[in-house]
């Protein structure tokens, strides 16, 4: 760059000489100053001006026993000279005890604005104004704490029952933005960092323009990898102490944190004297997308799973490659991780088998099977459940269920007027608070007409989402009484397969399949068809697996009485079958459980058993190692070892307050699996021989009771001698009470 005799400035650009604007000259001069600022030495500054205790703690982390002076030298913050040690400005910015003396504008100012724009004069709308002073290490801590107090809006309990603060913006996002501002600002400009908190956004404005060697448009891609430190000495010390990593990933991380919280990506801008990053409170989803996602709010979906869900808004079938694109990855591991839970819950439904996909690929000459649409998105079952009367009133094969969403201020009359033109509506349900509804037509042709014109329906200026819904159930399904129970189903078995197979023996009135659990329920119009299907189809091979067909028997009164002990637990029908194994007080084996579940699949076993073990209902009395020894000694399979016991849950063992006050609950002996004929006299006669009884509480309708001994040793004797003792032809169970919660 040169200055001509007339005062104009020019520079060489390739083979040309071009004029240079004053702003560009000023910018380049300021950039040179800012790049050199933290490395300049300060006259008159000594180590005593620094926070020696802070430096010592960092020095010990760096190298135990290293002196303060040597640490400063190692970090490049000081140099030894003949006249003593000289400190760089970076040392004072990082560690000074009195920043007001050396750098008055080493500060962060937080301003909360009432509204979305700043106003002046009589309309001045700053509600709060906080100023935080200190060296860089102090600012990193105190300014983050103060900013968090501005952004905190509630606290919630986490899965460990601990209170966790919730902030307007992701904590990690604004922490990263604040750390970047403090690290990379231009300290040669006598101004501080300013944070403006508006009602719809937060702006973090730091002194100093973006460095000329960094392209703003490249930064706005948020891809990471672009980095250059203005304050190289400051950045080095912060990197050594793990406040940052200097990999150019800061903005990318902020963008990712915002995306995980389903907020719009941040906006960055720069001018001649400052750099600003803006975080918005606006959702990354449109209003229409949010309306669709609300239908799945009962499910705990990840951010990526929501991307998959959005593919089903138009009711169209989707391909694996559509899902890969929604996940923004080619990683099959991520694909499997995100899709498997959706498939298990029935949200992501396979509309064709792998064999059918292969056939289509072969017929069409398509080289990539991942391009074949073979999935459809369905809202979760709780929103689609028909009441019992409707299930029997409208047979499965008679009509079709249509789902309508993105509704605003509409009435039942509006929707019936709009959709009634396509056919006879035999059932209608509008849930106004959720913005969706359901239609049930008396024939499938009416529904097909609606689905053909998707995207062309609107009411009150809003486009209506229309989709086909199949009524389905989850693992907590209520069984169809007086029907058939079908088990050991292949993952490829569909409702159409089974209805077609069983229809040859009579008209099917109701059918439900729990595909991810491998079983289903079916009801015929004529009960006599049950016997025919049982005789002909039990053991029938379907998709490579022999299905098991059995009568779907309801529970006896005796079984119901036993199950009432577990009424506070949310049990599946299959888990109830496991619990019934312990009704007579017998210990049970894994194979007993497999038989009760009517399956030989380990995955189904684990899904049903693990929750029971976690809450203590299914108690392991022999560990796996010991079971292996017993199996070897007895020459039996390890699955046949009786290693489990059914124990009623702690919540069912909570005593009335009167007993808690009179005797400590931990002293009680718990007796259960009692016969209806058992009396308090029976218990006193049986248990009294082991010690002096203070109190007996018999709860006859629950088949259980509690006993308090005067001597705690009697408790142990009762456990040892009377557990499994027969009383009125039933083996009673004796255990120490496990205190429940009120």
Q: Does residue 285 surpass a pLDDT of 50? A: yes
Determine contact, residues 147/132, Cβ cutoff 8 Å.
no
Determine contact, residues 87/42, Cβ cutoff 8 Å.
yes
Which band of pLDDT confidence, cut at 50, 70 and 90, is reported for residue 388? very low
DSSP 654: P
Looking at the whole model, is its pTM more than 0.95? no
Among 30-34, 321-325, 390-394, 672-676, name the most confident range: 321-325
Which band of pLDDT confidence, cut at 50, 70 and 90, is reported for residue 71? very high
Q: Does residue 664 surpass a pLDDT of 70? A: no
pLDDT of residue 539: 84
Determine contact, residues 505/535, Cβ cutoff 8 Å.
no
Q: Does residue 476 surpass a pLDDT of 50? A: no
pLDDT of residue 161: 66
With both helix axes pointing from N to C terminus, report the angle between 680-688 and 712-722 in degrees, rounded to the nearest 10: 100
pLDDT of residue 480: 44
- C-beta contacts of 219-224 below 8 A and 24+ residues apart: 219/251, 219/268, 220/268, 222/251, 222/252, 222/254, 222/255, 222/265, 222/266, 223/252, 224/248, 224/249, 224/251, 224/252, 224/253
pLDDT of residue 481: 45
Q: For residue 254, which of 209, 206, 204 has the smallest C-alpha distance?
A: 204
Of all residues in the chain, what percent carry a pLDDT higher than 70?
84
Which band of pLDDT confidence, cut at 50, 70 and 90, is reported for residue 195? very high
Residue 381 CA to residue 375 CA, distance in Å, equals 17
For residue 387, what are its two tokens?
Answer: 């009441």
Q: What are the DSSP calls for 294-320, one per residue?
A: GGGTTS---HHHHHHHHTTTT---B-H
User: Tokens 């459940």 map to which residue?
Assistant: 385
Mean pLDDT for the stretch of residues 166-175: 92
Residue 739 CA to residue 666 CA, distance in Å, equals 7
Instruction: Answer with the residue of higher pLDDT: 112 or 509.
Output: 112
Residue 571 CA to residue 617 CA, distance in Å, equals 11
Mean pLDDT for the stretch of residues 249-253: 89
List pLDDT tens digits, range 684-731: 889 888 888 888 888 776 677 888 888 888 888 888 899 888 898 888
Distances (CA, A) of 118 to 113, 198, 269, 618: 7, 9, 18, 63
pLDDT of residue 98: 92
Of all residues in the chain, what percent carry a pLDDT higher than 90?
25
Residue 517 CA to residue 409 CA, distance in Å, equals 40
Paired residues of 11 in beta bridges: 18
Residue 542 burial (CB count, 10 A): 17
Instruction: Answer with the residue of higher pLDDT: 193 or 363.
Output: 193
Distances (CA, A) of 413 to 55, 416, 417: 75, 5, 6
DSSP 385: P
Determine contact, residues 94/45, Cβ cutoff 8 Å.
no
pLDDT of residue 578: 92
Q: For residue 701, which of 676, 728, 677, 673 has the smallest C-alpha distance?
A: 676
Mean pLDDT for the stretch of residues 577-586: 85
Helices (H) and strands (E) in the chain, counts: 28, 36
**Alpha-helix residue ranges (DSSP H) falling in 482-527:** 495-502
**Alpha-helix residue ranges (DSSP H) falling in 107-215:** 136-151, 171-184
CB burial of residue 190 (10 Å; 0-12, 13-18, 19+): exposed
List pLDDT tens digits, range 127-148: 999 999 999 999 999 999 999 9
Residue 599 burial (CB count, 10 A): 21
Give the alpha-carbon dihedral of 389, 390, 392, 393, to 10 degrees: 100
Mean pLDDT for the stretch of residues 384-412: 53
Mean pLDDT for the stretch of residues 12-26: 74
Residue ranges and CATH numbers for the domains of the chain are: 1-34 (no CATH), 40-98 (no CATH), 107-280 (3.30.565.60), 287-377 (1.10.10), 401-468 (3.30.70.330), 484-551 (3.30.70.330), 557-646 (1.10.10), 668-736 (3.30.70.330)
Quote the mean pLDDT of the chain.
80
Paired residues of 278 in beta bridges: 203, 267
Distances (CA, A) of 342 to 336, 349, 377, 456: 10, 8, 9, 29
CA angle 36-40-43, nearest 5°? 160
Paired residues of 670 in beta bridges: 706, 735
Paired residues of 346 in beta bridges: none
Q: Does residue 568 surpass a pLDDT of 90? A: no
Which band of pLDDT confidence, cut at 50, 70 and 90, is reported for residue 660? very low
For residue 165, what are its two tokens?
Answer: 């603060």
Determine contact, residues 562/703, Cβ cutoff 8 Å.
yes
List pLDDT tens digits, range 591-645: 999 888 877 777 778 888 888 988 888 988 877 877 776 777 678 888 888 889 8
User: Tokens 């995955």 map to which residue?
Assistant: 603
pLDDT of residue 15: 77
Write b or e for each residue in 487-520: b if 16 or more Cβ atoms lie within 10 A of its Cβ, otherwise e: bbbbebbbbebbeebbbebbebbbbbbbbbbbbb
Instruction: Answer with the residue of higher pLDDT: 555 or 681.
Output: 681
pLDDT of residue 183: 93
Which band of pLDDT confidence, cut at 50, 70 and 90, is reported for residue 171? very high
Q: Does residue 417 surpass a pLDDT of 80? A: no
pLDDT of residue 279: 96
Pairing of strands 201-207, 375-377: unpaired
Q: CA 549: distance to chain centroid?
A: 37
Residue 52 phi, psi (nearest 5): -65, -40
Write b or e for each residue in 208-227: b if 16 or more Cβ atoms lie within 10 A of its Cβ, otherwise e: bbbbeeeeeeebeebebebb
Instruction: Answer with the residue of higher pLDDT: 24 or 614.
Output: 614
pLDDT of residue 737: 56
Which band of pLDDT confidence, cut at 50, 70 and 90, is reported for residue 460? confident
Q: How many residues does the chain have?
A: 742
Which band of pLDDT confidence, cut at 50, 70 and 90, is reported for residue 48? very high
Distances (CA, A) of 399 to 393, 416, 444, 448, 496: 11, 17, 6, 11, 15
Q: Does residue 114 surpass a pLDDT of 90? A: yes
Distances (CA, A) of 20 to 2, 24, 29, 579: 9, 7, 13, 86
Residue 136 CA to residue 183 CA, distance in Å, equals 8
Residue 567 CA to residue 321 CA, distance in Å, equals 45
Which band of pLDDT confidence, cut at 50, 70 and 90, is reported for residue 662? very low
| 40-44, 209-213, 289-293: the lowest-pLDDT one | 289-293
The residues near 464 (Cβ < 8 Å, ≥ 6 apart) are 404, 405, 406, 407, 457, 458
Residue 422 CA to residue 418 CA, distance in Å, equals 9
Instruction: Answer with the residue of higher pLDDT: 568 or 331.
Output: 331
Among 266-270, 312-316, 331-335, name the most confident range: 266-270
Write b or e for each residue in 604-639: b if 16 or more Cβ atoms lie within 10 A of its Cβ, otherwise e: bbebbbebbeeeebbeeebeeeebeebbeeeeeebe
Q: Does residue 430 surpass a pLDDT of 60? A: yes
| 29-38, 269-278, 474-483: the lowest-pLDDT one | 474-483
Residue 244 CA to residue 568 CA, distance in Å, equals 50
Helix (H) or strand (E) holding 25: helix 22-37
Q: Does residue 554 surpass a pLDDT of 70? A: no
Determine contact, residues 716/734, Cβ cutoff 8 Å.
no
pLDDT of residue 555: 60
Which band of pLDDT confidence, cut at 50, 70 and 90, is reported for residue 499? confident
Which band of pLDDT confidence, cut at 50, 70 and 90, is reported for residue 206? very high
Over the Cα atoms of the chain, what is R_g? Answer: 36
Is the alpha carbon torsion for 65, 70, 72, 73 positive or negative? Answer: negative
């Amino acid at each position: 760059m040169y200055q001509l005799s007339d005062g104009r400035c020019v520079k060489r650009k390739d083979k040309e000489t071009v004029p240079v604007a004053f702003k560009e000259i000023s910018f380049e001069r300021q950039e040179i100053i800012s790049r050199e600022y933290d490395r300049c030495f300060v006259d008159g500054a000594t180590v005593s001006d620094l926070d020696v205790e802070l430096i010592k703690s960092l020095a010990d982390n760096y190298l135990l026993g290293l002196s303060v002076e040597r640490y400063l030298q190692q970090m490049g913050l000081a140099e030894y000279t003949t006249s003593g040690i000289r400190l760089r400005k970076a040392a004072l910015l990082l560690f000074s005890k009195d920043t007001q003396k050396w750098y008055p504008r080493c500060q962060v100012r937080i301003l909360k604005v009432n509204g979305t724009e700043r106003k002046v004069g009589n309309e001045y709308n700053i509600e709060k104004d906080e100023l935080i002073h200190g060296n860089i290490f102090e600012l990193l801590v105190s300014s983050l704490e103060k900013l968090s107090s501005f952004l905190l809006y509630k606290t919630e309990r986490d899965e460990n029952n601990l209170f966790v603060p919730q902030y307007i913006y992701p904590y990690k996002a604004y922490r990263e933005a604040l750390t970047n501002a403090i690290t990379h600002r231009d300290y040669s400009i006598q101004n501080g960092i300013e944070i403006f908190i508006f009602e719809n956004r937060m702006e973090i404005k730091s002194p100093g323009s973006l460095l000329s060697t960094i392209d703003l448009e490249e930064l706005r891609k948020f891809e990471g990898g672009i980095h250059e430190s203005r304050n190289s000495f400051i950045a080095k010390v912060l990197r050594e102490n793990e406040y940052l990593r200097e990999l150019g990933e800061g903005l990318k991380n902020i963008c990712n944190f915002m995306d995980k919280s389903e907020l719009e990506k941040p906006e960055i801008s720069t001018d001649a004297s400052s750099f600003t990053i803006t975080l918005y409170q606006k959702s990354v989803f449109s209003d229409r997308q949010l309306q669709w996602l609300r239908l799945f709010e009962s499910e705990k979906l990840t951010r990526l799973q929501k991307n998959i869900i959005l593919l089903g808004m138009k009711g169209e079938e989707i391909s694996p490659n559509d899902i890969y694109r929604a996940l923004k990855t080619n990683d099959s591991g991520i694909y499997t991780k995100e899709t498997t839970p959706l498939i298990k819950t029935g949200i992501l439904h396979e509309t064709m088998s792998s064999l059918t996909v292969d056939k289509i690929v072969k017929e069409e000459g398509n080289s990539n099977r991942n391009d074949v649409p073979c999935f459809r998105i369905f809202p979760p079952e709780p929103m689609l459940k028909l009441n019992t009367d409707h299930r029997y009133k409208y047979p499965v094969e008679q009509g079709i269920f249509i789902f309508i969403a993105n509704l605003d201020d509409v009435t039942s009359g509006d929707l019936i007027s709009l959709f009634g033109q396509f056919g006879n509506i035999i059932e209608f349900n509008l849930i106004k608070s959720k913005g969706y509804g359901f239609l049930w037509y008396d024939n499938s042709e009416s529904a097909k007409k609606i689905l053909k014109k998707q995207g062309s329906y609107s009411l009150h200026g809003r486009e209506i989402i229309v989709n086909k819904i199949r009524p389905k159930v989850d693992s907590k399904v209520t069984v169809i009484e007086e029907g058939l129970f079908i088990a050991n189903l292949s993952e490829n078995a569909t409702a159409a397969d089974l209805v077609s197979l069983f229809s040859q023996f009579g008209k099917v009135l109701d059918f439900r399949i729990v595909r991810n659990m491998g079983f289903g329920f079916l009801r015929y119009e004529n009960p006599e068809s049950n016997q025919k299907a049982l005789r002909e189809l039990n053991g029938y091979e379907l998709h490579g697996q022999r299905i098991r067909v059995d009568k779907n028997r309801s529970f006896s009164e005796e079984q119901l009485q036993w199950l009432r002990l577990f009424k506070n637990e949310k049990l599946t029908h299959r888990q109830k079958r496991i619990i019934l194994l312990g009704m007579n007080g017998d210990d049970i084996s894994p194979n007993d459980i497999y038989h009760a579940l009517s399956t030989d699949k380990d995955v189904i076993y684990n899904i049903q058993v693990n929750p029971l073990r976690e809450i203590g209902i299914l108690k392991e009395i022999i560990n796996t190692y010991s079971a292996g020894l017993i199996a070897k000694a007895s020459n039996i399979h390890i699955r046949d070892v009786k290693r489990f016991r059914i124990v009623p849950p702690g919540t069912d063992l909570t005593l009335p307050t009167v007993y808690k006050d009179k005797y400590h609950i931990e002293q009680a002996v718990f007796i259960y699996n009692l016969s209806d004929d058992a009396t308090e006299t029976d218990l006193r006669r049986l248990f009294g021989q082991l010690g002096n009884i203070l109190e007996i509480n018999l709860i006859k309708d629950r088949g259980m009771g509690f006993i308090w001994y005067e001597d705690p040793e009697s408790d142990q004797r009762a456990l040892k001698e009377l557990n499994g003792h027969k009383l009125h032809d039933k083996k009673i169970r004796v255990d120490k009470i496990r205190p429940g919660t009120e």
